[in-house]
Amino acid sequence: MKLDAFSIHVPASTANLGPGFDSVGLALNRYLSVHVQQASEWKTVFYGEELQSLNGEEKNLIIQAAQFTAKHFHKDLPPCKLEVESGFPLSKGMGSSASAIVAGIELANTLLNLQLSKKEKALLASSIEKHPDNVIPAIYGGLTISFYNGKSVETVHVPDVAVEMIVAIPDDVLHTKDSRKSLPNLLPFNKAVEASAISNVLVAALIKNDWKKAADMMNRDLFHEPFRTKNIPFYCELKEKAVSLGAYGAAISGSGPAIVFFTPHQKAASITEQLSYMYPDYLFETVFPDRKGAVVNKSLSAAAL
Ligand code: HSE
């Protein structure tokens, strides 16, 4: 039986929020969209300048994640034509690979009618990405605090988060694999205890919507920011400037190089405008939390594609 065309929309995300390294993530209202039609063979068309480098690759991450999911359930996928657009850039720290993985899992789930729960999707996605902090908010929407140890996954989901954000995106790309090379292999026990206490306070503050305290904890991160700051041009200066303009604070978005600034209600747009004027080498965009997570829209007719 030939399936009707459908589309998958997966949000971008910002991971870590400082000391929530490899655990905390927040979905953003920028989306990866995949329009799917059954076809006689696999074909992917990437639209937009940002994704051009992916055209021609035989097996992109969306197809790989879909095939991984199908294989996990001992099934074969029917070939499809995928048309892919993205509202956010690749390899800048906004969870582009996580969104592609989640899109692939949603693709297999829909094509094979697997009826996976969010938790099952979270486990599959974490096992592909190896850390859960981008894939889980991309599945659930909102803020997620997660644990993944290679076998099981646990998440606390906070759907409503009252904050506005600005992402500052430099021209350069920074692949997560390279950015992780700056991190130490070990932390001394006393440093690890201090680092995890800072993270505990971050999470408690986030759940209470106390962004001032959360931003203070972001500044005190010991897990990754001290090692990565050198990779992010003007990071400390930009943070200081944004705070002087009314932002709560900032964190490296995922593994960078983008920066995410957190601001009170109705402040982000004016700070975005002022920072854009002062730092023309960065692209600044106001973003908001996404609350829905990945969505599959089956009401699209093939003719609409
Ligand atoms: N937690 C990850 C990191 C997010 O900071 O390396 C990027 O994939």
Best of 13, 17, 180, 223 to mutate for ligand 1, by most ligand atoms within 8 A of CB?
180
52, with CB counted inside 10 A (0-12, 13-18, 19+), is exposed
Question: Does the domain formed by 6-159+290-304 have CATH 3.30.230.10?
Answer: yes
Is the pLDDT at 305 greater than 80? The verdict is: no
- CATH 3.30.230.10 spans which residues of the chain? 6-159+290-304
What letter represents residue 293's amino acid?
G
Report which protein residue has its CA nearest ligand 1's atom 4: 254
Q: Which of 1-15, 16-30, 70-84, 249-263 has the lowest mean pLDDT?
A: 1-15
Is the pLDDT at 138 greater than 80? The verdict is: yes
> What would the pLDDT profile of 31-49 be if each residue is shown by its tens digit?
999 999 999 999 999 998 8
92 lines ligand 1 (CB under 6 A): no
The first and second tokens of residue 237, run together, are 């200066």
Is 44 within 8 Å of 79 (Cβ atoms)?
Answer: no
**Ligand 1, closest atom to CA 15?**
4
Report the separation in Å between the CA atom of 93 and the middle of ligand 1, taken as the mean of its atom positions: 8
What letter represents residue 190's amino acid?
N
**Separation CA 222–CA 224 (nearest Å):** 6
**Separation CA 144–CA 142 (nearest Å):** 7
**Separation CA 143–CA 20 (nearest Å):** 11
The first and second tokens of residue 226, run together, are 């001290």
Is the pLDDT at 224 greater than 60? The verdict is: yes
* Average pLDDT over every residue of 3-9: 92
| The pLDDT value given to residue 131 | 96
| The pLDDT value given to residue 1 | 59
134 lines ligand 1 (CB under 6 A): yes
298, with CB counted inside 10 A (0-12, 13-18, 19+), is exposed
291 lines ligand 1 (CB under 6 A): no
Is the pLDDT at 301 greater than 60? The verdict is: no
**Ligand 1, closest atom to CA 23?**
1
Nearest to 263 by CA among 255, 274, 278, 279: 274
Report the separation in Å between the CA atom of 301 and the middle of ligand 1, taken as the mean of its atom positions: 37
**Separation CA 7–CA 164 (nearest Å):** 28
| The pLDDT value given to residue 304 | 46
> What would the pLDDT profile of 151-178 be if each residue is shown by its tens digit?
999 999 999 999 999 999 999 888 888 8
HEC letters along 16-51: CCCCCCCCEEEEEEEEEEEEEEECCCCEEEECCHHH
The first and second tokens of residue 119, run together, are 């938790």
176 lines ligand 1 (CB under 6 A): yes
Q: What angle do CA 191, 235, 253 make, to 5 degrees?
A: 70
**Higher-scoring residue by pLDDT: 175, 121:** 121
Is the pLDDT at 284 greater than 90? The verdict is: yes
What is the average pLDDT value for the chain, to the nearest integer?
Answer: 94
286 lines ligand 1 (CB under 6 A): no
Sequence-distant (6+) residues with CB within 8 A of 5 are 35, 36, 37, 300, 301, 302, 304, 305
> What would the pLDDT profile of 53-89 be if each residue is shown by its tens digit?
887 777 899 999 999 999 999 999 999 999 999 999 9
Is 188 within 8 Å of 10 (Cβ atoms)?
Answer: no
Query: From the centroid of its chain, how far is CA 99?
Result: 7
- CATH 3.30.70.890 spans which residues of the chain? 164-287
* Average pLDDT over every residue of 91-100: 95
* Percent with pLDDT over 70 in the chain: 97
| The pLDDT value given to residue 302 | 45
What letter represents residue 30's amino acid?
R
Architecture (CATH level 2) of domain 164-287: 2-Layer Sandwich (3.30)
Best of 102, 147, 224 to mutate for ligand 1, by most ligand atoms within 8 A of CB?
224
**pLDDT class of 300 with cuts at 50, 70, 90:** low
| The pLDDT value given to residue 196 | 98
Neighbours of 73 (CB within 10 A): 12
Is the pTM here over 0.85, yes or no?
yes
| The pLDDT value given to residue 114 | 98
* Percent with pLDDT over 90 in the chain: 88
Is 251 within 8 Å of 259 (Cβ atoms)?
Answer: yes
Rounded to 10 deg, the angle between the 118-129 and 96-111 helix axes is 130
| The pLDDT value given to residue 2 | 66
> What would the pLDDT profile of 189-218 be if each residue is shown by its tens digit?
999 999 999 999 999 999 999 999 999 999
